[in-house]
Structure 1
Amino acid sequence: MKRRVVIIGGGAAGMSAAAKARRTDAELDIVVYERSGFVSYGACGFPYVIKGEIARIEDVIVRTPEQFARQGIQALIHHEVLAIDTERQTVRVRDLTGGHEFVDHWDELVLTTGGQPVRPPLPGVDLPGVFTLRNVEDARAIQHWLHEQQPRTGVIIGGGYIGLEMAEALAAHGVQLTLIERLSQVLPSFDNELAAQVEAELRQHQVDVRLGQTVQAIVGDERVREVLIDGQSIPAEIVILAVGVRPGVALARSAGIALGTTGAVAVDDHQRTNVPQVWAAGDVAEALHRVTGKPVWVPLGTTANKQGRVAGENLAGGDARFGGIVGTVAVKVFDLEAAMSGLSLARAQAEGFAARAISATANSRAHYMPGHQPITVSLVFDETSRRLLGGQMVGHEGVAKRIDTIAAALQAGWTIDELAELDASYAPPFAPVWDPILVAANLARK
């Protein structure tokens, strides 16, 4: 009898697990239950679809249920798993289209329930015109509102990655924007010096940035009209809630599957949970941080795909291992690029390192090449061991891929001295003789 594999969640981790399991064992019986109407899509592309830079939302859909069916994977959309019974090895499922419920048996279970956008308990949070952005339906709803309602004013609540990308997207539709962040800077995970450059870029594009302020209520009648902050009214015909994401662990918790210190599902380096034959991957699961050696929760599509592949191979009899992450991210804010990998100075000090940060600004290309732009590089290192702990960059070109050099150095465990000795490429159109990374590393070396 074929072994039955049930995967809960059809995002990056779930479909990667399904595809890898199928390639590893052609005899498995694989079914994926997905609550929404789509599987296997590039959620990071949504802001650029909304902006209009990507013509159709279908362009960010990687594969359809019909395509997976040809591979022998049953991907059932509009199906919500309501409960997991780990003793009987069953799940209770509701068909959201037909309305009926049924029980399915599994031999191997994969939790890829992802993350859930935080919806703060604010008055008016459910008014028409107030959106989060997590799945295809969310992106389509925002598109429809922009085209049908043509809002002239908008508020973005939250200054993280989604909030910044949506600022660019809405500005492209002529929306006069206010961005509200309750902390003292945008991009809270960045060090202040670099975050200030991102804030300046927003202001240069006429985004009214309000820092250190708290939203009290969202106000409207049949649709959103304004946002109240600290007693002040801000007009808003569209509101984007971008205040963060939490791991979607409700099913896991109710089934007795252990959560880790971060609040996400605890897994080992094979993506196993504490329950035999139950695996977890993607935004619902923890990962090992290679710099600190501790579990961390960093919801990224890159991690989800890798963890999903590991879980899929192992449940099918393989022996794959996920070695961890260094938390590499990049974001585009209008004409500016910002990226980081590893630990910020504040995080490194909180982790107990004798941490110091050194920053330097150098050209993206040779100084005599047209179009060269300044890049600010900040490196965090341990003064005792000289080990590189993290890096951040901001600039108008050449940032988003340069951060990969820092990621590789962190993963290899380099010191600041080894980074300074890197044999980096040089060609006037691409980089100066002394690349900005080397300039910062040599400054730290001294």
Structure 2
Amino acid sequence: MKLIVIGGVAAGMSAASKLSRMDKDAQITVYERGSFLSYGACGLPYYVSGENDDYTKMIARTKEQFESMGMEIHLRHEVVKVVPEKKQVMIRDLESKRMFLDSYDKLMIATGTHPIVPPFSGRELENIHVLKTLEDGIRLQEIASRQDVRNVVIVGGGYIGIEVAEAMGHLGKNIRVIELSDRIMRTFDQEITDMAEDELRKQGVQLNLNEKVQGFTGEGKVAKVQTDRGEYEADLVLLSLGVKPATGFLDGSGIALAENGAVVIDREMRTNIEDIYSAGDCALVYNKVMEENSYIPLGTNANKCGRLAGANMAGDHQKYVGTLGSAAIKVFDLEMARTGMSEDDAKKLNMDYTTVFVKSADHPGYYPNQTPIWIKLICEKRTRRILGAQAIGNKGVVLRIDIFAVAIHANMTADDLGMADLCYAPPFAGVWDAVHIACNAVK
């Protein structure tokens, strides 16, 4: 059996590795557009900041390591067309520009995303960047480390934008975040984002909300950012306006795509065409708590679903239990994390729900360095089943949201979790943990 994998980062290499372990005779060929395989893109902001001084630490396995497993790896090769009726793909060698065909028995589509870059005027100026690939991170780190780069403007207040704002803070830059919406990181509810915005301002970040970027000016390289409210000096601009599935090459293939371009798959990672599978940021994913497919481009989903795709291409029929959209971010001195539904999600689904927002602490006050934790819960009103949880605080937040993720995964109610036997010791938690206190506050 010959497998072609399109895309060699998270989902693609997870699928290839799993199939290789299960079927020693499988012939596996990987085509990757970039120069690197199997790296942790979520670590890019911390390389830019200098907290990680070696980008190779983000690479899980090298080309040579995969080749030692018997795989055929082609970097800097882009698949430009899929022809399912012939079981062929058309590939462009990005170095030689040569075009050629290859055939498959099974196909894995794991092309990830492209950053969204609107047609701003002045977009061609130097020092305007995105942060999506390892190559992007290497270039951004080189520029950000220069002493003459002082004023950094970040366009977009999502996860990447805010992580890069913190990175630039570590480098001592003057930072401005321009966000079209009325608040940052809208996958969190407003109670949480209000506190994150306060932290950013406290750390010296200028937040320009409800403001639209119109273009850039400068002589050769960017000097100013123009918006509908004014203009701002900029030695470096990061465009962080979200991502879209990198699936344009599938046009005309017959492979079903969602409205946003994501590949439509079932819970076994199968597309609508036999022997073609997909997973990762280019595809939809089953949302366990919402009981429907969603578009949630996270590395956690990509790795799990890629692994399942590999097993299923080897002959298994494993179904993905589903994602909760669990995610976390560090915002200077604060941790933020979320899992399951937001309140906006519950409203859109016309759920009969209730919420609580409580302030607790990471451990008892009689032990040194107690810090507050704020937790918001979204629960089904009738059954008190936990639907979603969000939290923010200085420490101990993310692992507590992990507890809520397990509870949602297991369909637990607030009453169940409010009496769960969690660890207690003064350095770590109170006899009633913050998790208990939030659950027991549900009415």
> TM tier, shorter chain?
over 0.9
- Give the aligned residue type for 1:54: N
Give the whole-Å Cα distance in 2 for the aligned partners of 1:119 and 1:254. 24
Give the whole-Å Cα distance in 2 for the aligned partners of 1:42 and 1:196. 29
Aligned residue in 2 for 1:371: 369
Contact 1:253 1:259 in 2 (8 A): no
Contact 2:156 2:180 in 1 (8 A): yes
Q: Does 1:214 align with 2:212?
A: yes
Q: How far off its partner does 1:254 sit?
A: 3.1
Q: Deviations over 1:140-160 (max 9, x none)?
A: 110121234631101111111
Give the whole-Å Cα distance in 1 for the aligned partners of 2:120 and 2:215. 5
Q: Deviations over 1:116-150 (max 9, x none)?
A: 11112211223211111111110011012123463
- Taking a change above 3 Å as real, the CA distance of residues 142 and 414 of structure 1, as seen in their structure-2 partners, is same
Aligned residue in 2 for 1:199: 197
Q: How far off its partner does 1:99 sit?
A: 1.9
Give the whole-Å Cα distance in 1 for the aligned partners of 2:266 and 2:102. 26
Mean Cα deviation higher: 3-12 or 148-157: 148-157
Mean Cα deviation higher: 102-111 or 410-419: 410-419
Partner secondary structure for residue 109 of structure 1: strand
- Taking a change above 3 Å as real, the CA distance of residues 63 and 236 of structure 1, as seen in their structure-2 partners, is same
Partner secondary structure for residue 107 of structure 2: strand
Aligned residue in 1 for 2:379: 381
Contact 1:262 1:295 in 2 (8 A): no
Q: Does 1:140 align with 2:138?
A: yes
Aligned residue in 2 for 1:173: 171
* 1:48-87 pair list within 5 angstroms: 48-87=46-85
* 1:136-285 pair list within 5 angstroms: 136-148=134-146, 150-260=148-258, 263-285=261-283
Q: How far off its partner does 1:52 sit?
A: 0.5
Give the whole-Å Cα distance in 1 for the aligned partners of 2:382 and 2:79. 51
Give the whole-Å Cα distance in 1 for the aligned partners of 2:251 and 2:376. 40
Give the whole-Å Cα distance in 2 for the aligned partners of 1:150 and 1:295. 47
Give the whole-Å Cα distance in 2 for the aligned partners of 1:435 and 1:28. 50
Give the whole-Å Cα distance in 2 for the aligned partners of 1:296 and 1:373. 35
Give the whole-Å Cα distance in 1 for the aligned partners of 2:229 and 2:184. 22
- Give the aligned residue type for 2:274: P
Give the whole-Å Cα distance in 1 for the aligned partners of 2:405 and 2:440. 18
Q: Deviations over 1:155-194 (max 9, x none)?
A: 1111111011000111222210111111111111111111
Q: Does 1:412 align with 2:410?
A: yes
Contact 2:244 2:260 in 1 (8 A): no
Contact 1:345 1:356 in 2 (8 A): no
- Give the aligned residue type for 1:431: A
Give the whole-Å Cα distance in 1 for the aligned partners of 2:350 and 2:152. 41
Partner secondary structure for residue 126 of structure 1: coil
Mean Cα deviation higher: 144-153 or 178-187: 144-153
Partner secondary structure for residue 223 of structure 2: strand
Q: Deviations over 1:231-252 (max 9, x none)?
A: 4111111111111111112123
Partner secondary structure for residue 319 of structure 1: coil
Aligned length: 443
Partner secondary structure for residue 398 of structure 2: coil
Aligned residue in 1 for 2:323: 325
Q: Deviations over 1:283-341 (max 9, x none)?
A: 01111111110110100101000110111111122222211101100000111100000
Aligned residue in 2 for 1:338: 336
- Give the aligned residue type for 1:26: K
Aligned residue in 2 for 1:92: 90
Long gaps (5+) in structure 1: none
- Taking a change above 3 Å as real, the CA distance of residues 320 and 354 of structure 1, as seen in their structure-2 partners, is same
Partner secondary structure for residue 29 of structure 2: strand
Give the whole-Å Cα distance in 1 for the aligned partners of 2:375 and 2:368. 21
- Taking a change above 3 Å as real, the CA distance of residues 262 and 427 of structure 1, as seen in their structure-2 partners, is farther
Give the whole-Å Cα distance in 2 for the aligned partners of 1:325 and 1:132. 27
Mean Cα deviation higher: 259-268 or 420-429: 259-268
Give the whole-Å Cα distance in 2 for the aligned partners of 1:14 and 1:273. 15
Deviant stretches of 4+, over 6 Å:
none
Give the whole-Å Cα distance in 2 for the aligned partners of 1:305 and 1:72. 21
Long gaps (5+) in structure 2: none
Contact 2:211 2:229 in 1 (8 A): no
Give the whole-Å Cα distance in 2 for the aligned partners of 1:48 and 1:334. 12
- Give the aligned residue type for 2:298: L
Give the whole-Å Cα distance in 2 for the aligned partners of 1:74 and 1:150. 44
- Give the aligned residue type for 1:218: F
Contact 1:262 1:296 in 2 (8 A): no
Mean Cα deviation higher: 418-427 or 206-215: 418-427
Mean Cα deviation higher: 83-92 or 242-251: 242-251
Aligned residue in 1 for 2:423: 425
Partner secondary structure for residue 399 of structure 2: coil
TM-score by length of 2: 0.98
Alignment partner for residue 127 of structure 2, among 121, 126, 129? 129
Contact 1:227 1:235 in 2 (8 A): yes
Contact 2:188 2:390 in 1 (8 A): yes
Q: How far off its partner does 1:262 sit?
A: 5.5
Aligned residue in 2 for 1:110: 108
Q: Deviations over 1:339-367 (max 9, x none)?
A: 00011112111111012210101110111
Aligned residue in 2 for 1:32: 30
Partner secondary structure for residue 272 of structure 2: coil
Contact 2:285 2:294 in 1 (8 A): yes
Mean Cα deviation higher: 415-424 or 341-350: 415-424
